[in-house]
Structure 1
Amino acid sequence: MADDPQRNFRSAYYEKVGFRGVEEKKSLEILLKDNPLDVEKLSTFSQRFPLPSMYRIHVWKVLLGILPPHSDSHALVGGYRREQYENILEALEAMRFINSSTPNTEVYLRMFQLEGQVLPRRSEIPPMGEEDEDFLSISRAMEEIVVNPMDCYWLIKCFHNQFNTKFGDSLPHLPKSLQHYLNQEEPRLLNHLKITGALAQLPYNPWFNRCFAGTLPESSLQRVWDKVISGSCKILVFVGLEILLSYKIILMGMNRPEVVVKFLGNIPQENTDAIVTKAIDLWHKYCGTPMHSV
């Protein structure tokens, strides 16, 4: 899409007076009036721009296949989703797997296990494994973003399934990718992390397998998830990269890997919006911007 000086001027003016993203919001509203919805264009929009909060959950549902492209079927499909949700819930209650005091996140995990036919025997419930903890971390974050429990469960389930189906083979390669881009941006920091032994112990699992759930506050996290849900796991690499770059001076002063890991596991929360913004800029810089018409 060629640069339009008039459009750029309007965008700058809107941003200056506090209406950042006005034109993008209008573009999205036009896309959402299509019937059927053009999923590819919605994906492209989500890759290029942050989703307005008022439309985010609806767009996520469409991109994750919870709702079909045909808008006139949304009410019907929504009814089926609710019925299935309630049936699974009732089954778990009947089996005494859950009760009124069970945390919602654990309820979602047991629902997911029942649907996947991997629910353990109630008398032989094993300790939570790493995959269970990944699921619970994403559930806790999604619960802060989505108010309705039924919507929350479907979004967690479909996000988890899509992420692992689409990107499962790519996940083991993301640490090497992070190291590659860190070498491009700040080779001294990369070398320091190597020498101290911290590079191999960076929190790759919470960053990549949990898509930064539990690391970033939900207000920043949802902007990252916009990109993941619309088709890119590479954004996770650049969020990790920008965290390292943002705290470069602090990290350069740390000489023990356990100190680095502890710090990165509890990064200050007040700077995360800026980190995500810079990470998205780096992502566009190295990976380009989708150019389909929106």
Structure 2
Amino acid sequence: MAEDPQRNFRSVYYEKVGFRGVEEKRSLEILLKDDRLDIEKLCTFSQRFPLPSMYRTLVWKVLLGILPPHHESHSFVMKYRKEQYKDIYHALQVIRFIKDSTPQVEVFLRIHQLESGKLPRSSSYPLEPEDEIFLAIAKAMEEMVDDNVDCYWLVSSFVNQLNNKYKDSLPLLPKILEQYLNLEDSRLLAHLKTCSAMARLPYNLWFRKCFASCLPESSLQKVWDKVISGSCKILVFVAIEILLTFKMKLMVLNSAEKIGQFLENIPQDNTDAIVSKAIELWHKHCGTPAHSV
């Protein structure tokens, strides 16, 4: 009987990280039962395989540093984080930056601003571009995470990761996108260049907002698995797959403005397939080394 390449690949991987002949979910359960969680193995797993939804919030909290690796500290740390959240929430109420009717994502923004020393002098001040990014990510995260305290810390830590760990990498992604698109479909790239559309692609939506408000949450969380576990380059391949998927539509559009408008509002009916193909393309070109940006 011929060997199953996928099964063989898994066997090699599990042997490397200490598991053999078990399903992905079971192997993750084993990882999560360790007294001290192995961050490197969690990153590797998250980059190799989709995270089961029932474990996603926990893994994200560990990878983002919201929870420490040691299990016995989790309850204490989350108790402290809940108290910290409540204290800042109360302070913002006292200074009248928020009230009971304030939308939850705006509450998250004000807490984050106060935490980072960037709270404006008045709540009536216009939002900065970085605030718009925070709100977009917060709106998406709110659909994924039920608990407000968990949601806030995930959003805040994720945004901090983008602003710190990926600060130098994110500005390079448009150029990287062009390089890989040339390898995948040079004709499409030539058309986009002819229309002067490359500079008008929605890079802010794709890369700064990590596709929040572009992809539905069911697809988005699979992309964020990879970003949170160490690779912002996955964003490039999601963008490329969007371009390839809608190639026929894009080829008949002849202006940068029309192309940009279409890509900012892509149809939502096949985004799971787009993300799956993007992950395959990412594996093809980059492999999955842990913490690869």
TM-score (norm 2): 0.92
TM alignment of 1:87-126, pairs within 5 A? 87-122=87-122, 125-126=124-125
Q: Distance in 2 between matches of 1:141 and 1:55?
A: 18
Superposition deviation, residue 93 in structure 1: 0.5
Q: Which residue of 2 aligns with 1:18?
A: none
Gaps of 5+ in 2: 12-21
1:52-86 CA-partner distances (Å, limit 9, x unpaired) = 00000000000001110000110111100101000
- Kindly provide the amino acid, as one letter, of the partner of residue 246 in structure 1: T
Q: Distance in 2 between matches of 1:176 and 1:139?
A: 27
Q: Distance in 2 between matches of 1:159 and 1:220?
A: 17
Distance 1:10 1:201, change over 3 A: closer
Distance 1:4 1:155, change over 3 A: same
Sequence identity percentage: 66
Q: Distance in 2 between matches of 1:286 and 1:127?
A: 42
Number of residue equivalences = 279
TM alignment of 1:8-19, pairs within 5 A? none
Distance 1:36 1:197, change over 3 A: same
TM alignment of 1:48-67, pairs within 5 A? 48-67=48-67
Moved over 3 A (4+): 3-11
Q: Distance in 1 between matches of 2:103 and 2:210?
A: 22
Q: Distance in 1 between matches of 2:158 and 2:284?
A: 26
Q: Which residue of 1 aligns with 2:142?
A: 143
Q: Distance in 2 between matches of 1:105 and 1:44?
A: 31
User: Does the Cα contact within 8 Å between 1:50 and 1:226 map onto a contact in 2?
Assistant: yes
User: Does the Cα contact within 8 Å between 1:47 and 1:230 map onto a contact in 2?
Assistant: yes
User: Does the Cα contact within 8 Å between 2:230 and 2:290 map onto a contact in 1?
Assistant: no
Superposition deviation, residue 9 in structure 1: 11
Superposition deviation, residue 6 in structure 1: 9.7
Matched, 1:84 2:84: yes
Q: Which residue of 1 aligns with 2:265?
A: 266
Q: Distance in 2 between matches of 1:43 and 1:276?
A: 19
Superposition deviation, residue 268 in structure 1: 0.6
Distance 1:126 1:40, change over 3 A: same
Q: RMSD of the alignment, in Å?
A: 1.9
Superposition deviation, residue 257 in structure 1: 1.1
User: Does the Cα contact within 8 Å between 2:40 and 2:290 map onto a contact in 1?
Assistant: no
TM alignment of 1:1-294, pairs within 5 A? 7=7, 23-122=23-122, 125-290=124-289
- Kindly provide the amino acid, as one letter, of the partner of residue 66 in structure 2: I
Q: Distance in 2 between matches of 1:100 and 1:82?
A: 18
User: Does the Cα contact within 8 Å between 1:48 and 1:290 map onto a contact in 2?
Assistant: no
- Kindly provide the amino acid, as one letter, of the partner of residue 78 in structure 1: M
Q: Distance in 1 between matches of 2:127 and 2:10?
A: 52
- Kindly provide the amino acid, as one letter, of the partner of residue 284 in structure 1: H
SS across alignment from 2:225? helix
Gaps of 5+ in 1: 12-21
Q: Distance in 2 between matches of 1:104 and 1:259?
A: 34
Q: Distance in 2 between matches of 1:6 and 1:238?
A: 22
- Kindly provide the amino acid, as one letter, of the partner of residue 110 in structure 2: R
1:8-66 CA-partner distances (Å, limit 9, x unpaired) = 5999xxxxxxxxxx810000000001110001100000000000000000000000011
Q: Distance in 1 between matches of 2:180 and 2:109?
A: 35
- Kindly provide the amino acid, as one letter, of the partner of residue 35 in structure 1: D
Q: Distance in 1 between matches of 2:75 and 2:141?
A: 23
Distance 1:120 1:46, change over 3 A: same
- Kindly provide the amino acid, as one letter, of the partner of residue 77 in structure 1: V
User: Does the Cα contact within 8 Å between 2:226 and 2:232 map onto a contact in 1?
Assistant: yes
1:82-112 CA-partner distances (Å, limit 9, x unpaired) = 0100001000001111001100111111100
Distance 1:146 1:191, change over 3 A: same
SS across alignment from 2:165? helix
Superposition deviation, residue 129 in structure 1: 1.6
Superposition deviation, residue 172 in structure 1: 1.0
